[in-house]
A = this chain, B = another copy of it.
Amino acid sequence: MARNKEFDEKAVLKKAMELFWKQGYEKTSMQDLVNHMGIHRRSIYDTFGDKYSLFLASLKSYEVFVAEELTKIISNSSTLKIAIRNIFEYVVNLAELEIYPAGCFAVNTAVELSLLDKDIQHLTTKMFNDTEELFNKLLKEGQNKGELKNDLNTQVTAQFLHNNLIGLRVLVKTKYTKKDLESIIDLILKVLE
């Protein structure tokens, strides 16, 4: 038999994801990816196909990454209201930590490509719907536990929360201060009172 793969496919894909997340599709060259992923150009093509396929794979790996992060946040929150607040805080804090790029890969992609590429538009819409569905689930759970009023329309409220989350994920790329963003969060969450 033959030699085994030496690199961890998941790990190098995450490297690609980080670069696309930070720079977008067009600004990221294959040379950038070769440098950053740490494997040979040939290995990239053999494993992931062309640049576009690698981008799609990166976006899907981001989807998983975010879902894991959100699950952690929620399970570390004592109430559902706090869980929702922590999701918003996470977006603002992540931009400050600089471990990952500021902003959201899905939002970036929706803005950069979804008018020009229907497949991408479909994928980003799905990711947005999923985030909304998560909010919806949290809100319903909050109602069941008596934390939230029952006359709250959970679906519209979920869309509203998500809309604000998108806004914040754009604003963190500008020179807005954390203090500004915090007071916006406070006002957003008034809808839950």
Contacts and interface: CB of A to CB of B under 8 A. Distances in A.
Interface of A: 22-24, 26-27, 101-103, 107-108, 110-112, 114-116, 121-122, 124-125, 128, 156-157, 159-160, 162-168, 170-171, 173-176, 180, 183-184, 186-188, 190-191
Report the copy number of this chain in the oligomer: 2
A24 to B, nearest CB: 6
B156 A27 contact: no
Contacts of A191: 187, 190
A105 to B, nearest CB: 11
Given A170-B107, A170-B111, A163 B160 contact: no
A124 B112 CA distance: 16
7 contacts: A115-B173, A121-B173, A159-B187, A164-B164, A166-B171, A167-B170, A187-B191
Nearest to A123: B174
Given A115-B22, A115-B102, A184 B171 contact: no
A23 B24 CA distance: 13
B174 A124 contact: yes
A55 to B, nearest CB: 14
**Interface residue SS majority, chain A:** helix
- Choose among A107, A121, A167 the residue with the greatest number of B CB atoms under 10 Å from its CB: A167
B27 A173 contact: no
Contacts of A101: 115
A167 to B, nearest CB: 4
